[in-house]
Structure 1
Amino acid sequence: MLYRTSTAPTPPPSPALDRVWRLPGVYRPQADTALLAAALSREVVPGSDVLDVGTGSGALALYASRLGGCVEAVDISWRAVAVTRLNALRAGHPIEVHRRDIRHPPGRASRRTYDVVVSNPPYVPAPPGPAHRGARAWDAGPDGRQVLDPLCAASAELLRPGGVLLMVHSAMSGTQATVDLLTGLGLSAGVGCRARVPLGPVLRSRLPWLRARGLMAAADEQEELVVIRAERR
């Protein structure tokens, strides 16, 4: 099944994404968060069971709750779990928040399934070597697929029939690889939308390495983000 792909400027952050508190080391809502929120607004209806995988500050979990979803949020970071619980409490939204490895989401063990699974996972290609603790929120191995591949593999078990996965990542991490993997799992997958955004500090700091590996063209000063939409028939 093919999906209409839109390429447009990144939507401005929703107020739902602006009202979150963070601790150091917890991912800050950025352009990828806003792009994913715009896609989420087209999928969540009142009463939808929603899982936010790798919730970070809880911005997307809160947004899904404001759309009427019954939301569960998971993250491997205790700081992210604490911040999301605090943000949910401040907003008055009954979000379930758990600490779990996002490569092994809860549906795999509990058999719980969802109408919508949303994720902004780590996807930035990273050179070998030590990284500071906060980098695990974005760094994902030399090809950027350290988390993407296991998350895709788990998605078929997380979705109920008719359920939708929405996942954002950089085109550098292999858009077609994600679509092919999800299709191979029996899902109808494609690119829902794209946006080009200025390079942030992390990518600018490793431009020579990215260009040497052929992940970015010599003249490219922007990153392409994609939202992958996959549906379980």
Structure 2
Amino acid sequence: MPGYPRGVITLVLPGVYAPQDDTELLAEALRDEAPPPGAHVLDVGTGSGALALEAARQGAEVTAVDVSRLAVWTARVNARLAGLPVRIRHGNLFAPVRGRTYDLILANPPYVPAPDSGHGRRGRSRAWDGGQDGRLLLDRICRDAPALLRPGGVLLTVHSSLSDPYRTLELLRAAGLKATVIRRRWIAFGPVLRSREDWLRGRGLIPPDEDREELVVVRAERTR
């Protein structure tokens, strides 16, 4: 699978987000984090289940959530094919796990700025459209994830520099977390960005001569 060379994922159905460069970048951060066996991990917006399965391979107790029923079904099939125990729930972000806490939360949400507001997201684009500023779901994650972290718990989230990493850091620090960018990677524009390149340039999000986007991983820790 492009961008995810370890071969964990067997099935990705049309309309489900396939592992790509952002998945691999977050997987690298997960491996560096190395949660101990038995750690409670939440993968929110799991898609095909790639990151949830990576955490389960490390011995974590993993819960995965996605708003797409097709993604939930896909992740369940992949977990079964891999022989890995992952609890997979259908629901909107943290709603299915309200009241629970975790040692590690993983998030690779839709973050690509889109010409519409994003409130009516549907179809395949729901896997990547993040509203006009790309932060429709990112802001909700920054707001709600801190309360789900145990003391010493960590949030790892990946998104594009087009959706304002400084805003992510600001919100997480305001919530009392110690937040920093731990990984960066430049990648060539994919089909989605190329399809809305003129709109992004018109908004000043992409310089006239730029043909790459920067991905970042933000690590935020609840220190107390």
Residue 41 of structure 1: aligned partner: 31
Aligned-residue offset at 1:23: 1.1
Residue 17 of structure 2: aligned partner: 27
For the residue of structure 2 that corresponds to 1:15, the secondary structure is coil
Aligned-pair Cα RMSD in Å:
1.6
CA distance in 1, matches of 2:121, 2:174: 33
Is residue 2:159 matched to residue 1:138? no
Is residue 2:114 matched to residue 1:126? yes
Residue 3 of structure 1: aligned partner: none
Residue 196 of structure 1: aligned partner: 186
Residue in structure 2 matching 1:81, options 72, 76, 79:
72
Q: How high is the TM-score relative to the length of structure 1?
A: 0.90
* Cα gap change, 1:64 to 1:16, in 2 (>3 Å): farther
Contact map agreement 1:53 1:105 (CA 8 A) in 2? no
Is residue 2:108 matched to residue 1:115? no
Q: How high is the TM-score relative to the length of structure 2?
A: 0.94
CA distance in 2, matches of 1:138, 1:31: 13
Aligned residues: 219
CA distance in 1, matches of 2:10, 2:166: 33
- The AA in structure 2 aligned to 1:154 is D
For the residue of structure 2 that corresponds to 1:166, the secondary structure is strand
- The AA in structure 2 aligned to 1:116 is L
Residue in structure 1 matching 2:87, options 87, 93, 96:
96
For the residue of structure 1 that corresponds to 2:62, the secondary structure is strand
Aligned-residue offset at 1:20: 2.7
Residue in structure 2 matching 1:178, options 168, 176, 190:
168
- The AA in structure 2 aligned to 1:209 is W
CA distance in 2, matches of 1:220, 1:162: 39
Which structure has more RCO (C-alpha within 8 Å, separation ≥ 6)?
1
CA distance in 1, matches of 2:32, 2:39: 12
How high is the sequence identity, in percent, across the aligned residues? 52
Unpaired runs of 5+ residues, structure 1, are: 1-10
Contact map agreement 1:16 1:63 (CA 8 A) in 2? no
Cα deviations by residue, 1:63-120 (Å, 9 ceiling, x for unpaired): 1000111100000000000011111111111100000101x4444x3x2111110010
